[in-house]
Amino acid sequence: MIDQYSSTIIEAVEKIKTSVVKIERVSVENQKEKQNGSGSGFIFSSDGFLFTNSHVVNKAQKTYVVLHDGSRHLAELIGEDPSTDLAILKISAFDFSIAQLGDSSSLKIGQLVIAIGNPLGFQYTVTSGIISALGRTMRSQDGNMMDSMIQTDAALNPGNSGGPLINASGEVIGVNTAMIVGAQNLCFAISINTAKEIAYQLIKYGKVKRAYLGLSMQQIELVPKLKAILEIRNQNALFISKVASGSPAEKGGILEGDIIYRFNDKNIETSDELFKELTAEKIGLFQYINVIRNNQKLELKITPSEKVLN
């Protein structure tokens, strides 16, 4: 008899497995195609749009998508954003299913998550774990700072990149993107709410333009006593672990250890919410940011700059 934990994972995987694809990166030499890399992805639109990682498809001469039934389709690169390590591909196919996208704003530390992908060329591999941290900022392989990361201990391997991280209901709550080499069970996914925003811009404009603050963050839960003393309604806020030298945040007076709870009169509880506020229209214009410092509330002015890739 299958236990409840196993049944939950099996049922969740059944809901999404046929929308998960293998990405094949191909080079062309002397009119002959040669595979020189692979990754994972998942279809999220009836039009054939799918998510994968930027590093999987970057500078690829050709990219193919292999569906669950083994059929192989040439993919069109709609756009990529190295800053979040996301890319959108499009295929012309008929027999595929669509992944259900969830809501990453309601995630909790300790929640069950499941990763699906094609590690090391093994088709449709499933691993499970829990959410270890939320709203993380980490440095990508090309040196860019990636925000809105979900940290999980669900094992990832080369080839998992671009596959879905799902919840117990089979909804995608993140796009698997990175593991820390040499570390045990330290893996990351870009949250689906931020991924949705990136996808919208890539499909509409072919690129992403956003405002930059220069912060490394982690989502934390506010202590009830502190909330009561400061009369703050937020359940969560963003703890600043690092401020980049010379960044708009440093120039605006933000310090390591500050806790962001408000931006332009909007309560901010997740890095997704802050990311959504940092639109291109905010570049070069004063913005108000509210922080907690030494158990006191402060309002600072900050002027975001344009995000520049390394």
19, 38, 55, 148: the catalytic one is 55
Residues 6+ apart with CB under 8 A from 15: 100, 169, 170
Of 79, 62, 54, which is closest to residue 27 (Cα–Cα)? 62
Structure tokens of 73? Answer: 């389709």
User: For residue 196, how many other CB atoms are within 10 A of its CB?
Assistant: 17
Dihedral over alpha carbons 135, 137, 138, 139 (to 10 degrees): 150
Say if CB 108 and CB 131 are below 8 A apart.
yes
Residue 161 is among the residues annotated as catalytic for this protein: yes
Of 274, 207, 211, which is closest to residue 239 (Cα–Cα)? 274
Residue 19 is among the residues annotated as catalytic for this protein: no
| Secondary structure E strands in 140-252 | 145-152, 164-166, 172-179, 187-191, 211-212, 215-221, 236-243
38, 54, 81, 85: the catalytic one is 85
What is the Cα–Cα distance from 121 to 127, expressed in whole angstroms? 15
H-type helices in 175-292, by residue range? 192-205, 224-230, 248-251, 271-277
Of 294, 289, 259, which is closest to residue 277 (Cα–Cα)? 289
Sign of the alpha-carbon dihedral angle for 31, 35, 39, 44:
positive
Residue 169 is among the residues annotated as catalytic for this protein: no
Which residues form the catalytic set?
A: 55, 85, 161
